[in-house]
Amino acid sequence: MKNYKLEISYDGTRYYGWEHQPDQMTIQGKLEEVLKRMVNQEVEVIGAGRTDAGVHAKAMVANVHMETRKTEKEILEYMNRYLPEDIMVTDVREASERFHARYKAVGKLYTYTCYCGDLKPIFERKYVTVLDFKPDIDRMKKAAEYLTGEYDFKSFCANPKMKKSTVREVDSIEIVQRRDKIYFNFHGTGFLQNMVRILVGTLLEVGKGSMTPEDVKGILEAKDRTLAGPTAPAQGLCLMKVDY
């Protein structure tokens, strides 16, 4: 039985996230469904992360152990033939037996996109969050400085019953405006449930003037989710890259 590394792009709009959910359509479920048909046995597709419902990915990485006579190219072609139109496998290659998409990952890059133009972004509405105000970029950049580094991000975790450590390292937060779009680029070793979306929601509160950059430092230290900003909508978030 060989171990295969997959790179996958998907539009998460109509899915209930990556991970299996009872009676719900998920990315992991669709991938396993197609591979099960291909090899005629149960398979488990292990993803580098567990994106939430409605979140997209340009380069999710996964691995799967399976027995097949098909070449890497044939596996890729088979999967893309039978996967729905909003999921695409961009690369298939045999990996070492010990490769594990989640445990071997050393970093991830997420991008959150906001739109602050005057006209409705009709053709991009599934991939951006539309703002009804124009945030102050400099204020948000100053606030982001307090969030860069290794800290306990409990205030930015959606799971109040999290038993494992909520310490994470965010090594860079880049906020860039290009015309009517604002991009928040987060790179870190790993992220908690809804963490990026809560960070964006909090930074937007700073950009709106409802919080000061210094407030963010206090929120981080308080380890209290109720003090942070709202969870930004899912459609603006995309997993861009996984590092190994």
For the domain that residue 156 is a member of, what is the CATH number?
A: 3.30.70.660
Q: Is the pLDDT of residue 37 over 90?
A: yes
- Token pair 């459609």 is found at 235
On whether both 91 and 177 belong to a single domain, the answer is no
Instruction: Average the pLDDT over 203-232 and give the result.
Output: 97
The one-letter code for the residue type at 109 is: L
Q: Contact at 8 Å (CB) between 59 and 107? A: no
- pLDDT of 163 reads 82
Q: In angstroms, what CA-CA distances link 27 with 11, 24, 67, 136?
A: 10, 10, 22, 36
On whether both 111 and 28 belong to a single domain, the answer is no
- pLDDT of 90 reads 98
H or E segment to which residue 61 belongs: strand 56-66
**Cα Rg of the chain, angstroms:** 19
On whether both 187 and 154 belong to a single domain, the answer is yes
Kindly name the residue from 11, 23, 52, 136 that is annotated as catalytic.
Answer: 52
On whether both 25 and 91 belong to a single domain, the answer is yes
On whether both 112 and 179 belong to a single domain, the answer is yes
Is 138 considered catalytic here?
no
On whether both 236 and 153 belong to a single domain, the answer is yes
On whether both 19 and 112 belong to a single domain, the answer is no
On whether both 131 and 207 belong to a single domain, the answer is yes
Q: Domain limits at 18?
A: 2-95
In a domain, residue 72? The reply is: yes
Backbone angles phi, psi at 73, to 5 degrees: -65, -40
In a domain, residue 101? The reply is: no
Q: Is the pLDDT of residue 215 over 90?
A: yes
Q: Is the pLDDT of residue 161 over 90?
A: no
- pLDDT of 224 reads 96
On whether both 58 and 131 belong to a single domain, the answer is no
